[in-house]
Structure 1
Amino acid sequence: MKRSTATAAGMQHVAPYSRLYVLFTGMERIASLLECVAGWAAHGAHVRLAGLAPSASLPDSDQRPAQQCSNRIALTATLETARELLALRGIEADCEFLGTGPDSAARNEALARAVRLWKADLTIGAPANPVALAGETASPVLMLPTPTARHCSVPPGRVFVASDASAASACAVREAATLAAPGTRVRVGYLACDPAAAQHPEDFDAVILEAGHEGEATAHAIIQAALQWHADLLVLGTRGGHEGGRWRYASVAAEVAQRTVLPLLLVPQGSQTLMLT
Protein backbone atom coordinates (compact mmCIF):
# COMPACT_ATOMS: atom_id res chain seq x y z
CA MET A 1 0.00 0.00 0.00
CA LYS A 2 1.37 3.42 -0.96
CA ARG A 3 0.32 6.72 0.49
CA SER A 4 -0.87 9.62 -1.64
CA THR A 5 1.61 11.46 -3.84
CA ALA A 6 1.07 14.65 -1.82
CA THR A 7 2.10 13.03 1.47
CA ALA A 8 4.94 11.03 -0.08
CA ALA A 9 6.36 14.16 -1.71
CA GLY A 10 6.41 15.97 1.63
CA MET A 11 3.83 18.58 0.71
CA GLN A 12 2.01 20.46 3.44
CA HIS A 13 -0.17 18.18 5.51
CA VAL A 14 -3.89 18.95 5.40
CA ALA A 15 -5.99 18.38 8.51
CA PRO A 16 -8.45 15.61 7.65
CA TYR A 17 -11.68 16.43 9.50
CA SER A 18 -14.34 18.90 8.39
CA ARG A 19 -17.14 18.26 10.93
CA LEU A 20 -16.02 17.89 14.53
CA TYR A 21 -18.17 17.16 17.55
CA VAL A 22 -16.38 18.06 20.79
CA LEU A 23 -17.66 16.69 24.08
CA PHE A 24 -17.24 18.52 27.41
CA THR A 25 -18.15 16.94 30.75
CA GLY A 26 -16.22 19.26 33.07
CA MET A 27 -13.40 16.73 33.60
CA GLU A 28 -11.31 17.55 30.53
CA ARG A 29 -7.92 19.16 30.14
CA ILE A 30 -9.33 22.05 28.13
CA ALA A 31 -6.07 23.17 26.51
CA SER A 32 -5.34 19.68 25.17
CA LEU A 33 -8.90 19.28 23.90
CA LEU A 34 -8.83 22.57 22.00
CA GLU A 35 -5.38 21.84 20.63
CA CYS A 36 -6.77 18.67 19.07
CA VAL A 37 -9.64 20.62 17.56
CA ALA A 38 -7.34 23.27 16.11
CA GLY A 39 -4.84 20.70 14.84
CA TRP A 40 -7.24 18.29 13.15
CA ALA A 41 -9.95 20.65 11.88
CA ALA A 42 -9.69 21.31 8.17
CA HIS A 43 -9.88 24.91 6.95
CA GLY A 44 -13.48 26.07 7.24
CA ALA A 45 -14.47 23.09 9.38
CA HIS A 46 -17.81 23.02 11.19
CA VAL A 47 -17.32 22.52 14.92
CA ARG A 48 -19.92 21.87 17.58
CA LEU A 49 -19.09 22.05 21.29
CA ALA A 50 -21.42 19.93 23.40
CA GLY A 51 -21.87 19.93 27.15
CA LEU A 52 -22.84 16.71 28.90
CA ALA A 53 -23.11 17.49 32.60
CA PRO A 54 -22.54 14.62 35.05
CA SER A 55 -25.55 13.31 36.90
CA ALA A 56 -26.12 14.72 40.36
CA SER A 57 -24.31 12.62 42.95
CA LEU A 58 -25.99 13.88 46.13
CA PRO A 59 -28.05 11.23 47.94
CA ASP A 60 -30.64 13.77 49.07
CA SER A 61 -33.16 14.05 46.23
CA ASP A 62 -34.15 17.55 47.40
CA GLN A 63 -30.60 18.80 46.76
CA ARG A 64 -30.10 17.18 43.36
CA PRO A 65 -31.82 19.88 41.28
CA ALA A 66 -29.56 22.53 42.81
CA GLN A 67 -26.47 20.45 42.07
CA GLN A 68 -27.62 19.80 38.50
CA CYS A 69 -28.19 23.54 38.02
CA SER A 70 -24.72 24.30 39.40
CA ASN A 71 -23.12 21.69 37.11
CA ARG A 72 -24.89 23.16 34.10
CA ILE A 73 -23.87 26.75 34.91
CA ALA A 74 -20.21 25.75 35.28
CA LEU A 75 -20.25 23.72 32.07
CA THR A 76 -22.00 26.47 30.13
CA ALA A 77 -19.22 28.87 31.13
CA THR A 78 -16.63 26.32 29.98
CA LEU A 79 -18.32 25.94 26.59
CA GLU A 80 -18.46 29.70 26.06
CA THR A 81 -14.80 30.09 26.99
CA ALA A 82 -13.82 27.26 24.63
CA ARG A 83 -15.84 28.85 21.82
CA GLU A 84 -14.07 32.18 22.32
CA LEU A 85 -10.63 30.56 22.41
CA LEU A 86 -11.31 28.71 19.16
CA ALA A 87 -12.53 31.96 17.58
CA LEU A 88 -9.13 33.49 18.38
CA ARG A 89 -7.64 30.69 16.26
CA GLY A 90 -9.99 31.45 13.40
CA ILE A 91 -12.30 28.49 14.10
CA GLU A 92 -16.00 29.21 14.39
CA ALA A 93 -17.97 26.90 16.69
CA ASP A 94 -21.45 26.69 18.11
CA CYS A 95 -22.60 25.15 21.37
CA GLU A 96 -25.33 22.86 22.60
CA PHE A 97 -26.24 21.20 25.86
CA LEU A 98 -27.24 17.54 25.95
CA GLY A 99 -29.86 16.34 28.42
CA THR A 100 -28.47 14.29 31.26
CA GLY A 101 -31.03 11.49 30.92
CA PRO A 102 -32.22 9.16 33.66
CA ASP A 103 -29.30 6.73 33.35
CA SER A 104 -25.99 6.11 31.54
CA ALA A 105 -27.68 4.23 28.68
CA ALA A 106 -29.98 7.18 27.98
CA ARG A 107 -27.03 9.59 28.13
CA ASN A 108 -25.02 7.47 25.68
CA GLU A 109 -27.99 7.21 23.33
CA ALA A 110 -28.51 10.99 23.41
CA LEU A 111 -24.85 11.56 22.62
CA ALA A 112 -24.83 9.12 19.70
CA ARG A 113 -27.99 10.72 18.30
CA ALA A 114 -26.45 14.20 18.54
CA VAL A 115 -23.24 13.07 16.79
CA ARG A 116 -25.24 11.49 13.96
CA LEU A 117 -27.41 14.59 13.55
CA TRP A 118 -24.27 16.74 13.31
CA LYS A 119 -22.88 14.30 10.70
CA ALA A 120 -19.55 14.40 12.51
CA ASP A 121 -16.49 12.84 10.93
CA LEU A 122 -14.66 13.02 14.27
CA THR A 123 -15.83 13.11 17.89
CA ILE A 124 -13.32 14.33 20.47
CA GLY A 125 -13.63 13.92 24.24
CA ALA A 126 -14.06 11.25 26.87
CA PRO A 127 -17.44 9.56 26.32
CA ALA A 128 -18.44 6.82 28.75
CA ASN A 129 -18.50 4.16 26.02
CA PRO A 130 -16.29 5.33 23.14
CA VAL A 131 -16.29 1.94 21.36
CA ALA A 132 -20.08 1.82 21.15
CA LEU A 133 -20.18 5.50 20.12
CA ALA A 134 -17.79 4.88 17.22
CA GLY A 135 -19.80 1.89 16.07
CA GLU A 136 -23.20 3.57 16.38
CA THR A 137 -22.12 6.75 14.58
CA ALA A 138 -19.83 5.15 11.96
CA SER A 139 -17.25 7.88 12.60
CA PRO A 140 -13.92 7.94 14.47
CA VAL A 141 -13.77 8.85 18.15
CA LEU A 142 -10.66 10.45 19.62
CA MET A 143 -10.76 9.56 23.31
CA LEU A 144 -8.72 11.79 25.56
CA PRO A 145 -8.24 10.09 28.95
CA THR A 146 -8.31 11.81 32.32
CA PRO A 147 -6.43 15.10 32.90
CA THR A 148 -3.56 13.15 34.49
CA ALA A 149 -2.98 11.06 31.33
CA ARG A 150 -0.58 11.72 28.48
CA HIS A 151 -0.80 15.00 26.58
CA CYS A 152 -2.26 14.75 23.08
CA SER A 153 0.36 16.05 20.64
CA VAL A 154 -1.02 17.54 17.41
CA PRO A 155 0.03 16.50 14.91
CA PRO A 156 1.28 13.35 16.64
CA GLY A 157 4.94 12.59 16.05
CA ARG A 158 4.64 8.86 16.74
CA VAL A 159 1.47 6.90 15.96
CA PHE A 160 1.00 3.27 17.01
CA VAL A 161 -1.69 1.23 15.24
CA ALA A 162 -2.73 -2.20 16.52
CA SER A 163 -3.92 -4.66 13.86
CA ASP A 164 -5.20 -8.22 13.62
CA ALA A 165 -5.28 -7.96 9.80
CA SER A 166 -9.09 -7.67 9.84
CA ALA A 167 -11.11 -5.25 7.73
CA ALA A 168 -11.66 -3.06 10.80
CA SER A 169 -7.92 -2.94 11.42
CA ALA A 170 -7.29 -2.00 7.80
CA CYS A 171 -9.56 1.02 8.32
CA ALA A 172 -7.47 2.01 11.34
CA VAL A 173 -4.23 1.79 9.33
CA ARG A 174 -5.67 3.95 6.56
CA GLU A 175 -6.96 6.49 9.08
CA ALA A 176 -3.47 6.69 10.60
CA ALA A 177 -2.13 7.45 7.14
CA THR A 178 -4.49 10.43 6.80
CA LEU A 179 -3.23 11.82 10.13
CA ALA A 180 0.46 11.34 9.45
CA ALA A 181 2.08 14.67 8.68
CA PRO A 182 5.47 14.67 6.94
CA GLY A 183 8.00 13.37 9.45
CA THR A 184 5.45 11.44 11.53
CA ARG A 185 6.55 7.92 12.43
CA VAL A 186 3.87 5.23 12.29
CA ARG A 187 4.25 1.70 13.63
CA VAL A 188 1.75 -1.11 13.05
CA GLY A 189 1.70 -3.78 15.75
CA TYR A 190 0.28 -7.03 14.37
CA LEU A 191 -1.40 -9.51 16.70
CA ALA A 192 -0.54 -13.13 15.86
CA CYS A 193 -0.42 -12.52 12.13
CA ASP A 194 2.40 -12.06 9.66
CA PRO A 195 2.96 -8.40 8.69
CA ALA A 196 3.97 -9.62 5.23
CA ALA A 197 0.44 -10.96 4.73
CA ALA A 198 -1.18 -7.63 5.65
CA GLN A 199 -1.08 -4.27 3.91
CA HIS A 200 0.37 -1.07 5.30
CA PRO A 201 2.22 1.86 3.72
CA GLU A 202 5.84 1.12 2.89
CA ASP A 203 7.16 3.83 5.21
CA PHE A 204 5.37 2.40 8.27
CA ASP A 205 7.24 0.20 10.73
CA ALA A 206 5.76 -3.23 11.48
CA VAL A 207 6.18 -5.49 14.49
CA ILE A 208 4.50 -8.63 15.80
CA LEU A 209 2.89 -8.45 19.24
CA GLU A 210 2.81 -11.56 21.38
CA ALA A 211 -0.46 -11.78 23.28
CA GLY A 212 -2.83 -14.34 24.70
CA HIS A 213 -6.31 -15.03 23.38
CA GLU A 214 -8.12 -13.08 26.08
CA GLY A 215 -9.07 -9.45 25.71
CA GLU A 216 -7.32 -8.26 28.87
CA ALA A 217 -3.98 -9.84 27.92
CA THR A 218 -4.20 -8.55 24.35
CA ALA A 219 -5.11 -5.04 25.49
CA HIS A 220 -2.15 -5.05 27.89
CA ALA A 221 0.21 -6.11 25.08
CA ILE A 222 -1.05 -3.31 22.82
CA ILE A 223 -0.77 -0.60 25.47
CA GLN A 224 2.68 -1.72 26.62
CA ALA A 225 4.01 -1.88 23.07
CA ALA A 226 2.72 1.64 22.37
CA LEU A 227 4.18 3.03 25.60
CA GLN A 228 7.56 1.34 25.13
CA TRP A 229 7.75 2.83 21.63
CA HIS A 230 6.91 6.26 23.15
CA ALA A 231 3.81 6.70 20.98
CA ASP A 232 1.89 9.99 21.07
CA LEU A 233 -1.31 8.40 19.75
CA LEU A 234 -2.77 4.89 19.78
CA VAL A 235 -5.12 3.87 16.95
CA LEU A 236 -7.50 0.89 16.94
CA GLY A 237 -10.12 -0.32 14.51
CA THR A 238 -13.44 -1.57 15.81
CA ARG A 239 -16.77 -2.83 14.56
CA GLY A 240 -18.55 -1.38 17.59
CA GLY A 241 -19.30 -2.36 21.16
CA HIS A 242 -22.06 -4.89 20.53
CA GLU A 243 -22.30 -8.62 19.92
CA GLY A 244 -20.53 -9.38 16.67
CA GLY A 245 -18.50 -6.20 16.94
CA ARG A 246 -15.43 -7.83 18.46
CA TRP A 247 -11.80 -8.39 17.62
CA ARG A 248 -10.56 -11.89 16.95
CA TYR A 249 -9.83 -12.64 20.61
CA ALA A 250 -12.25 -10.48 22.62
CA SER A 251 -13.56 -6.95 22.97
CA VAL A 252 -10.03 -5.61 22.90
CA ALA A 253 -10.91 -2.06 21.96
CA ALA A 254 -13.11 -1.68 25.02
CA GLU A 255 -10.37 -3.05 27.28
CA VAL A 256 -7.80 -0.67 25.78
CA ALA A 257 -10.17 2.29 26.16
CA GLN A 258 -10.57 1.52 29.87
CA ARG A 259 -6.85 1.11 30.55
CA THR A 260 -4.88 3.41 28.27
CA VAL A 261 -3.18 6.61 29.40
CA LEU A 262 -2.51 7.50 25.76
CA PRO A 263 -4.91 9.42 23.52
CA LEU A 264 -6.85 6.72 21.65
CA LEU A 265 -8.38 7.04 18.19
CA LEU A 266 -11.11 4.44 17.60
CA VAL A 267 -11.89 3.92 13.92
CA PRO A 268 -15.07 1.99 13.10
CA GLN A 269 -15.24 -0.30 10.12
CA GLY A 270 -17.15 1.56 7.42
CA SER A 271 -16.08 4.99 8.66
CA GLN A 272 -17.15 7.76 6.28
CA THR A 273 -13.89 9.69 6.73
CA LEU A 274 -12.06 10.26 3.45
CA MET A 275 -9.27 7.70 3.24
CA LEU A 276 -6.12 7.56 1.14
CA THR A 277 -6.02 5.31 -1.91
Structure 2
Amino acid sequence: MDPAQTQRNARSEVKRILVAVDTSPQSVRAAEYVRRMALPHARIRIVSVAENPRTLLPLGSMADAELQVARDELTRDAENAVARARSIFADAGIDVESEVIQPSRQGGYTANALIDAGAQWKADLLVVGARQHHGMLRWVEGTVSEYVTTEAPCSILVVPAGYEADIGPSPQRILFALDGSAASLSALHFGLRLARPESRLRAIYVVDRAVRLTDFVPIHVLQQAFIEEGHAALAAAASAFAELSNHAETVLVKTEPVNDDVPHTIVRDAERWHADLLVVGTHGRRGVARWLLGSVAARTARLARTPLLLARPT
Protein backbone atom coordinates (compact mmCIF):
# COMPACT_ATOMS: atom_id res chain seq x y z
CA MET A 1 0.00 0.00 0.00
CA ASP A 2 1.36 3.43 -0.89
CA PRO A 3 2.01 5.97 1.92
CA ALA A 4 -0.82 8.27 0.88
CA GLN A 5 -3.32 5.41 1.05
CA THR A 6 -1.96 4.35 4.43
CA GLN A 7 -2.53 7.88 5.72
CA ARG A 8 -6.06 8.08 4.32
CA ASN A 9 -6.97 4.80 6.01
CA ALA A 10 -5.51 5.92 9.33
CA ARG A 11 -7.36 9.21 9.27
CA SER A 12 -10.67 7.56 8.41
CA GLU A 13 -10.61 5.73 11.74
CA VAL A 14 -11.65 8.91 13.61
CA LYS A 15 -15.28 8.65 12.63
CA ARG A 16 -17.22 9.94 15.62
CA ILE A 17 -16.34 13.35 17.08
CA LEU A 18 -18.27 14.67 20.07
CA VAL A 19 -18.02 18.47 20.33
CA ALA A 20 -18.99 19.84 23.75
CA VAL A 21 -20.04 23.49 23.70
CA ASP A 22 -21.23 26.21 26.04
CA THR A 23 -21.86 29.92 25.57
CA SER A 24 -18.18 30.91 25.66
CA PRO A 25 -16.14 32.19 22.70
CA GLN A 26 -13.78 29.28 23.34
CA SER A 27 -16.51 26.87 22.30
CA VAL A 28 -16.88 28.70 19.01
CA ARG A 29 -13.13 28.42 18.43
CA ALA A 30 -13.25 24.69 19.19
CA ALA A 31 -16.11 24.13 16.75
CA GLU A 32 -14.30 26.14 14.07
CA TYR A 33 -11.15 24.09 14.60
CA VAL A 34 -13.09 20.85 14.07
CA ARG A 35 -14.85 22.36 11.06
CA ARG A 36 -11.47 22.94 9.38
CA MET A 37 -10.18 19.42 10.04
CA ALA A 38 -10.15 17.32 6.87
CA LEU A 39 -12.38 14.49 8.08
CA PRO A 40 -15.13 14.38 5.44
CA HIS A 41 -16.39 10.95 6.49
CA ALA A 42 -16.64 11.78 10.19
CA ARG A 43 -19.87 12.14 12.08
CA ILE A 44 -20.11 15.18 14.36
CA ARG A 45 -22.30 15.25 17.43
CA ILE A 46 -22.66 18.62 19.19
CA VAL A 47 -23.71 18.51 22.83
CA SER A 48 -24.22 21.13 25.48
CA VAL A 49 -24.86 20.39 29.13
CA ALA A 50 -27.58 22.44 30.78
CA GLU A 51 -25.85 22.57 34.14
CA ASN A 52 -27.70 21.47 37.23
CA PRO A 53 -28.43 24.62 39.30
CA ARG A 54 -28.24 22.55 42.48
CA THR A 55 -24.55 21.94 41.79
CA LEU A 56 -23.90 25.65 41.22
CA LEU A 57 -25.61 27.01 44.34
CA PRO A 58 -25.73 25.87 47.97
CA LEU A 59 -28.42 23.30 48.65
CA GLY A 60 -31.55 24.93 50.02
CA SER A 61 -30.58 28.43 48.88
CA MET A 62 -33.33 28.51 46.25
CA ALA A 63 -37.01 27.65 46.29
CA ASP A 64 -38.37 25.16 43.79
CA ALA A 65 -39.80 27.95 41.61
CA GLU A 66 -36.46 29.76 41.56
CA LEU A 67 -34.68 26.53 40.72
CA GLN A 68 -37.00 26.00 37.76
CA VAL A 69 -36.32 29.52 36.48
CA ALA A 70 -32.57 28.90 36.76
CA ARG A 71 -32.94 25.52 35.09
CA ASP A 72 -34.89 27.05 32.19
CA GLU A 73 -32.27 29.76 31.71
CA LEU A 74 -29.42 27.24 31.71
CA THR A 75 -31.34 25.13 29.20
CA ARG A 76 -31.82 28.13 26.88
CA ASP A 77 -28.12 28.89 27.11
CA ALA A 78 -27.30 25.30 26.15
CA GLU A 79 -29.76 25.38 23.24
CA ASN A 80 -28.25 28.63 21.96
CA ALA A 81 -24.74 27.18 22.22
CA VAL A 82 -25.77 24.14 20.20
CA ALA A 83 -27.48 26.27 17.54
CA ARG A 84 -24.43 28.49 17.17
CA ALA A 85 -22.12 25.49 16.82
CA ARG A 86 -24.43 23.83 14.28
CA SER A 87 -24.30 26.98 12.14
CA ILE A 88 -20.52 26.63 11.89
CA PHE A 89 -20.95 23.23 10.22
CA ALA A 90 -23.88 24.33 8.02
CA ASP A 91 -21.97 24.12 4.72
CA ALA A 92 -19.32 21.57 5.74
CA GLY A 93 -20.90 18.55 4.08
CA ILE A 94 -20.52 16.63 7.34
CA ASP A 95 -23.12 14.53 9.13
CA VAL A 96 -24.00 16.67 12.21
CA GLU A 97 -26.41 15.87 15.01
CA SER A 98 -26.93 17.61 18.33
CA GLU A 99 -28.36 17.29 21.81
CA VAL A 100 -28.91 19.34 24.96
CA ILE A 101 -28.10 17.18 27.97
CA GLN A 102 -30.11 17.68 31.17
CA PRO A 103 -28.11 16.27 34.10
CA SER A 104 -30.42 18.09 36.54
CA ARG A 105 -33.12 15.54 35.81
CA GLN A 106 -30.90 12.88 37.34
CA GLY A 107 -29.22 15.18 39.87
CA GLY A 108 -25.94 14.71 38.04
CA TYR A 109 -22.85 16.75 37.28
CA THR A 110 -21.57 18.21 34.02
CA ALA A 111 -18.42 16.09 33.79
CA ASN A 112 -20.32 12.86 34.44
CA ALA A 113 -22.95 13.81 31.87
CA LEU A 114 -20.27 14.42 29.27
CA ILE A 115 -18.52 11.13 30.02
CA ASP A 116 -21.82 9.29 29.73
CA ALA A 117 -22.62 11.03 26.43
CA GLY A 118 -19.27 9.98 24.97
CA ALA A 119 -19.71 6.40 26.11
CA GLN A 120 -23.27 6.06 24.85
CA TRP A 121 -22.43 7.52 21.45
CA LYS A 122 -19.15 5.57 21.26
CA ALA A 123 -17.17 8.72 20.43
CA ASP A 124 -13.61 8.43 19.10
CA LEU A 125 -12.77 12.00 20.13
CA LEU A 126 -14.23 14.54 22.55
CA VAL A 127 -13.56 18.21 21.71
CA VAL A 128 -13.89 21.12 24.14
CA GLY A 129 -12.96 24.79 24.17
CA ALA A 130 -11.35 25.92 27.39
CA ARG A 131 -10.45 28.93 29.46
CA GLN A 132 -7.30 28.15 31.43
CA HIS A 133 -8.29 27.41 35.03
CA HIS A 134 -11.95 28.17 34.33
CA GLY A 135 -14.95 26.85 32.49
CA MET A 136 -14.62 23.62 30.59
CA LEU A 137 -10.97 23.10 31.47
CA ARG A 138 -12.17 21.93 34.86
CA TRP A 139 -12.92 18.68 33.06
CA VAL A 140 -9.24 18.14 32.30
CA GLU A 141 -7.44 19.56 35.32
CA GLY A 142 -7.27 19.15 39.06
CA THR A 143 -9.12 16.39 40.87
CA VAL A 144 -11.82 16.20 38.19
CA SER A 145 -9.26 15.74 35.43
CA GLU A 146 -7.89 12.55 36.90
CA TYR A 147 -11.41 11.12 36.91
CA VAL A 148 -12.29 12.34 33.41
CA THR A 149 -9.04 11.30 31.72
CA THR A 150 -9.31 7.81 33.21
CA GLU A 151 -13.06 7.39 32.78
CA ALA A 152 -13.71 9.23 29.50
CA PRO A 153 -14.22 6.61 26.80
CA CYS A 154 -12.17 8.45 24.22
CA SER A 155 -9.33 10.88 23.58
CA ILE A 156 -9.87 14.57 24.36
CA LEU A 157 -9.00 17.57 22.18
CA VAL A 158 -8.78 20.87 24.07
CA VAL A 159 -8.74 24.17 22.15
CA PRO A 160 -7.50 26.68 24.76
CA ALA A 161 -8.33 30.35 25.07
CA GLY A 162 -4.68 31.22 24.52
CA TYR A 163 -4.74 29.87 20.96
CA GLU A 164 -5.03 33.05 18.94
CA ALA A 165 -3.77 31.97 15.51
CA ASP A 166 -6.07 32.14 12.52
CA ILE A 167 -7.80 28.80 12.12
CA GLY A 168 -7.08 27.50 8.63
CA PRO A 169 -7.15 23.93 7.36
CA SER A 170 -6.14 22.04 10.48
CA PRO A 171 -3.88 20.61 11.60
CA GLN A 172 -0.96 21.77 9.47
CA ARG A 173 1.83 21.33 12.05
CA ILE A 174 1.53 18.50 14.58
CA LEU A 175 3.94 18.19 17.49
CA PHE A 176 4.10 14.85 19.31
CA ALA A 177 5.60 14.88 22.82
CA LEU A 178 6.98 11.44 23.63
CA ASP A 179 8.12 10.16 27.01
CA GLY A 180 9.24 6.62 26.20
CA SER A 181 6.01 5.00 27.39
CA ALA A 182 3.69 2.80 25.39
CA ALA A 183 0.96 5.40 26.04
CA SER A 184 2.87 8.17 24.28
CA LEU A 185 3.58 5.98 21.27
CA SER A 186 -0.09 5.05 21.12
CA ALA A 187 -0.89 8.78 21.29
CA LEU A 188 1.38 9.38 18.30
CA HIS A 189 -0.45 6.79 16.23
CA PHE A 190 -3.82 8.28 17.22
CA GLY A 191 -2.64 11.79 16.38
CA LEU A 192 -1.51 10.65 12.95
CA ARG A 193 -5.13 9.83 12.18
CA LEU A 194 -5.82 13.56 12.23
CA ALA A 195 -2.91 14.49 9.95
CA ARG A 196 -3.59 16.02 6.58
CA PRO A 197 -1.50 14.94 3.55
CA GLU A 198 0.38 18.25 3.74
CA SER A 199 0.79 18.29 7.54
CA ARG A 200 4.30 18.72 8.92
CA LEU A 201 5.12 16.33 11.74
CA ARG A 202 7.58 16.75 14.61
CA ALA A 203 8.23 14.31 17.46
CA ILE A 204 10.19 15.43 20.48
CA TYR A 205 11.53 13.78 23.59
CA VAL A 206 12.46 16.10 26.47
CA VAL A 207 15.65 15.35 28.39
CA ASP A 208 15.05 16.73 31.86
CA ARG A 209 18.25 18.44 33.02
CA ALA A 210 16.67 20.56 35.77
CA VAL A 211 18.18 20.00 39.21
CA ARG A 212 15.64 19.76 42.06
CA LEU A 213 16.01 19.46 45.79
CA THR A 214 14.02 16.22 45.68
CA ASP A 215 16.56 14.52 43.39
CA PHE A 216 18.52 11.80 45.14
CA VAL A 217 19.99 10.24 41.98
CA PRO A 218 22.90 12.22 40.46
CA ILE A 219 21.52 14.36 37.65
CA HIS A 220 24.08 13.13 35.12
CA VAL A 221 22.88 9.55 35.72
CA LEU A 222 19.26 10.56 35.07
CA GLN A 223 20.25 12.55 32.00
CA GLN A 224 21.99 9.58 30.44
CA ALA A 225 18.99 7.37 31.13
CA PHE A 226 16.69 9.97 29.57
CA ILE A 227 18.92 10.29 26.51
CA GLU A 228 18.93 6.54 25.93
CA GLU A 229 15.18 6.34 26.40
CA GLY A 230 14.69 9.37 24.16
CA HIS A 231 16.65 7.88 21.27
CA ALA A 232 14.52 4.73 21.48
CA ALA A 233 11.28 6.73 21.58
CA LEU A 234 12.27 8.90 18.64
CA ALA A 235 13.35 5.86 16.62
CA ALA A 236 9.85 4.43 17.10
CA ALA A 237 8.36 7.74 15.95
CA ALA A 238 10.63 7.84 12.91
CA SER A 239 9.47 4.35 11.99
CA ALA A 240 5.83 5.46 12.12
CA PHE A 241 6.57 8.61 10.11
CA ALA A 242 8.38 6.56 7.45
CA GLU A 243 5.05 5.02 6.42
CA LEU A 244 3.71 8.45 5.47
CA SER A 245 4.56 10.96 2.76
CA ASN A 246 4.56 13.94 5.14
CA HIS A 247 7.58 16.06 5.96
CA ALA A 248 8.64 14.77 9.40
CA GLU A 249 11.41 15.25 11.94
CA THR A 250 12.41 13.87 15.33
CA VAL A 251 14.28 15.97 17.89
CA LEU A 252 15.81 15.46 21.33
CA VAL A 253 15.24 18.67 23.31
CA LYS A 254 16.41 19.61 26.80
CA THR A 255 15.07 21.55 29.73
CA GLU A 256 17.06 24.41 31.14
CA PRO A 257 19.39 23.31 33.99
CA VAL A 258 17.45 25.34 36.59
CA ASN A 259 13.90 26.66 37.04
CA ASP A 260 12.43 24.55 34.27
CA ASP A 261 10.47 21.36 33.76
CA VAL A 262 9.17 19.06 31.03
CA PRO A 263 5.70 20.64 30.53
CA HIS A 264 7.14 24.14 30.10
CA THR A 265 9.70 22.80 27.63
CA ILE A 266 7.01 21.03 25.60
CA VAL A 267 4.87 24.17 25.47
CA ARG A 268 7.84 26.35 24.46
CA ASP A 269 8.77 23.98 21.67
CA ALA A 270 5.19 23.93 20.41
CA GLU A 271 5.08 27.73 20.30
CA ARG A 272 8.51 28.16 18.72
CA TRP A 273 7.70 25.59 16.04
CA HIS A 274 4.24 27.19 15.49
CA ALA A 275 2.41 23.91 16.08
CA ASP A 276 -1.33 23.98 15.60
CA LEU A 277 -1.81 20.64 17.37
CA LEU A 278 0.12 19.23 20.33
CA VAL A 279 -0.29 15.53 21.09
CA VAL A 280 0.49 13.86 24.41
CA GLY A 281 -0.51 10.54 25.96
CA THR A 282 -2.74 10.80 29.03
CA HIS A 283 -1.36 7.80 30.89
CA GLY A 284 2.32 8.26 30.17
CA ARG A 285 4.85 9.07 32.85
CA ARG A 286 8.46 10.07 32.53
CA GLY A 287 10.13 6.70 31.99
CA VAL A 288 12.69 5.89 34.70
CA ALA A 289 11.55 8.85 36.84
CA ARG A 290 7.80 8.58 36.34
CA TRP A 291 7.11 8.14 40.05
CA LEU A 292 9.02 11.37 40.79
CA LEU A 293 7.52 13.70 38.22
CA GLY A 294 3.77 13.13 38.26
CA SER A 295 1.45 13.79 35.34
CA VAL A 296 3.20 15.72 32.58
CA ALA A 297 0.01 15.63 30.49
CA ALA A 298 -2.11 17.36 33.15
CA ARG A 299 0.43 20.14 33.69
CA THR A 300 0.89 20.59 29.96
CA ALA A 301 -2.89 21.01 29.64
CA ARG A 302 -2.81 23.87 32.13
CA LEU A 303 0.00 25.65 30.27
CA ALA A 304 -0.66 25.01 26.59
CA ARG A 305 -1.80 27.78 24.26
CA THR A 306 -1.88 25.32 21.37
CA PRO A 307 -4.77 22.91 20.69
CA LEU A 308 -3.91 19.86 22.78
CA LEU A 309 -4.85 16.25 22.07
CA LEU A 310 -4.86 14.15 25.23
CA ALA A 311 -4.82 10.74 23.58
CA ARG A 312 -5.88 7.65 25.46
CA PRO A 313 -4.05 4.38 24.80
CA THR A 314 -5.71 2.23 22.14
TM-score band by shorter chain is: 0.7 to 0.9
The structure whose residues are more often helix, as a share, is: 2
- 2:21–2:85 Cα contact (<8 Å) kept: no
Q: 1:168 to 1:268 in 2, by over 3 A?
A: same
- What is residue 129 of structure 1 aligned with on the other side? 139
Query: Could you give the per-residue CA deviations for residues 143-162 of structure 1, whole angstroms, max 9, x where no partner exists?
Result: 1112x533454322211111
- What is residue 216 of structure 2 aligned with on the other side? none
Could you tell me how far apart the structure 2 residues matched to 1:65 and 1:10 are?
50
- 1:172–1:237 Cα contact (<8 Å) kept: yes
2:122 equivalent to 1:119: yes
Identity of aligned residues (%): 27
Taking structure 1 as the reference length, what is the TM-score of the superposition?
0.78
Alpha-carbon deviation of 1:165? 1.3
2:182 equivalent to 1:149: no
Say which of 191, 198, 203 aligns to 1:176: 191
Q: 1:266 to 1:88 in 2, by over 3 A?
A: same
Could you tell me how far apart the structure 2 residues matched to 1:58 and 1:116 are?
28
AA at the equivalent of 1:186: L
Secondary structure of 1:95's partner?
strand
Q: How does 1:167-246 map to 2 (within 5 A)?
A: 167-192=182-207, 193-194=226-227, 195-198=230-233, 199-200=236-237, 201-202=241-242, 203-211=247-255, 217-239=261-283, 246=285
AA at the equivalent of 1:5: D
- What is residue 72 of structure 1 aligned with on the other side? 75
- 1:238–1:253 Cα contact (<8 Å) kept: yes
- 1:15–1:39 Cα contact (<8 Å) kept: no
Gaps of 5+ in 2: 130-135, 208-225
Instruction: Give the superposed CA RMSD.
Output: 3.3
Say which of 92, 96, 111 aligns to 1:93: 96
Moved over 4 A (4+): 8-16, 54-60, 62-65
- What is residue 313 of structure 2 aligned with on the other side? 269
Taking structure 2 as the reference length, what is the TM-score of the superposition?
0.70
Say which of 102, 106, 109 aligns to 2:109: 106
Secondary structure of 1:174's partner?
helix
AA at the equivalent of 1:219: P
Structure with max Cα Rg: 2
- 1:35–1:154 Cα contact (<8 Å) kept: no
- What is residue 82 of structure 1 aligned with on the other side? 85
Could you tell me how far apart the structure 2 residues matched to 1:177 and 1:253 are?
18
Aligned length: 258
AA at the equivalent of 1:25: D
AA at the equivalent of 1:93: V
Gaps of 5+ in 1: 240-244, 271-277
AA at the equivalent of 1:129: W
- 2:40–2:93 Cα contact (<8 Å) kept: no
Q: 1:212 to 1:48 in 2, by over 3 A?
A: same
Q: 1:12 to 1:44 in 2, by over 3 A?
A: closer
Alpha-carbon deviation of 1:227? 0.9
Q: 1:236 to 1:125 in 2, by over 3 A?
A: same
- 2:51–2:109 Cα contact (<8 Å) kept: no
